[in-house]
Amino acid sequence: MAFWKEKTLAEMNTSEWESLCDGCGKCCLNKIIDDETEELYYTNAACKLLDPHEAHCIHYTQRFNFVPLCTQVTIDNVAELTWLPDSCAYRRLYSGKSLPSWHPLLTGSKSEMHQQGMSTQDKITCETKVKYMEDHIVLWPLKDLD
Ligand code: SF4
């Protein structure tokens, strides 16, 4: 049986944990929280390290050298990271859901994820070019399938 079906998140080893990441890039988007309502809004303004077409971090293993405030998703903080998108594999498994049908672990590549619009591919603007973050609020990162 696939490891994500027979193990809990806490039981997974490092390579299994890392492979759960679909590489969608949505966690690399800037978000805005409304001070009054505490509602979370996604923007299409992405971290300067996110490749706009490949939807992956161009310096993943050294990313903290470039972006010290980048967050590493771990078993210890996954419950608190409520800003991760609903489609995120870590959130889905943590909340008792299965992996979505387009997940690279099931399809063998990121192609299906891109085709179904579940990644940041070709949808983002680099944060360094953004003047007003509010002008970049988008809804597509909220989409979840399955
Ligand atoms: S949102 Fe989750 S699955 Fe997608 S890239 Fe970020 S950590 Fe990986």
Give 56 Cα–ligand 1 centroid separation in angstroms.
Answer: 10
Domain boundaries, the chain: 3-142
Per-residue model confidence (pLDDT) at position 146: 87
Percent of the chain with pLDDT over 70: 100
Q: For a ligand 1 pocket test, name from 90, 93, 121 the mutation site with the most ligand atoms within 8 angstroms of its C-beta.
A: 90
Q: Considering the entire predicted model, what is its pTM?
A: 0.94
Q: What are phi and psi of 41, to 5 degrees?
A: -125, 135
In tens, the pLDDT along 95-137 reads 999 999 999 999 999 999 999 999 999 999 999 999 999 999 9
Per-residue model confidence (pLDDT) at position 80: 97
Give 139 Cα–ligand 1 centroid separation in angstroms.
Answer: 17
C-alpha span between 118 and 141 (Å, rounded): 7
Task: For 125-142, give the DSSP string.
Answer: EEGGG-S-GGGGEESGGG
**What separation in angstroms does the CA of 32 have from each of 38, 51, 108?**
9, 21, 33
Q: Which parts of the chain have pLDDT scores under 50?
A: none
